[in-house]
Amino acid sequence: MTIAFNVVAPIVTYNILTGRGWTEFAALLLSSAWPVVDTLVSLAWRRHIDEFAIVTLVFLVITALVTLVGTHSARALLIKDSAVTGLFGTLCLATLLAPRPLMFFFGRKFGTDGTPEGVGHFNSLWQYPDFRKAMKTMTSVWGVAYLIEAALRVVLAYALSTDTMVILSPFLIYGFLVSLIFWTIRYSKRMQAEGEARAAAREAAAAAAA
What are the residues whose beta carbons fall under 8 Å from the beta carbon of 103, sequence distance 6 or more? 92, 135, 138, 139, 142, 184
The pLDDT value given to residue 147: 94
* Burial group, residue 206, by CB count within 10 angstroms (0-12, 13-18, 19+): exposed
The pLDDT value given to residue 51: 57
The pLDDT value given to residue 135: 93
Nearest to 91 by CA among 40, 18, 142, 138: 142
Distances, alpha carbon 83 to alpha carbons 56, 87, 168, 180, in Å: 16, 6, 17, 19
Residue 100 one-letter amino acid: R
What are the residues whose beta carbons fall under 8 Å from the beta carbon of 137, sequence distance 6 or more? 187
pLDDT per position in the chain (210 positions), as tens? Answer: 667 776 678 778 878 888 888 876 677 667 777 767 776 776 666 665 555 556 666 666 666 666 666 555 556 666 766 777 888 899 899 999 999 998 998 888 777 777 788 888 889 989 988 899 999 999 999 999 999 999 998 888 888 876 677 677 767 877 888 899 899 989 988 988 888 888 788 888 888 887
* Contact present, 194 and 129 (Cβ < 8 Å): no
* Contact present, 29 and 64 (Cβ < 8 Å): yes
How many angstroms separate the CA atoms of 102 and 109, rounded?
11
How many angstroms separate the CA atoms of 114 and 12, rounded?
26
The pLDDT value given to residue 75: 65
What burial letters (b/e) apply to 53-90, b meaning 16+ CB within 10 Å?
bbbbbebbebbbebbeeeeeeeeebbbbbbbbbbbbbe
pTM: 0.68
The pLDDT value given to residue 95: 92
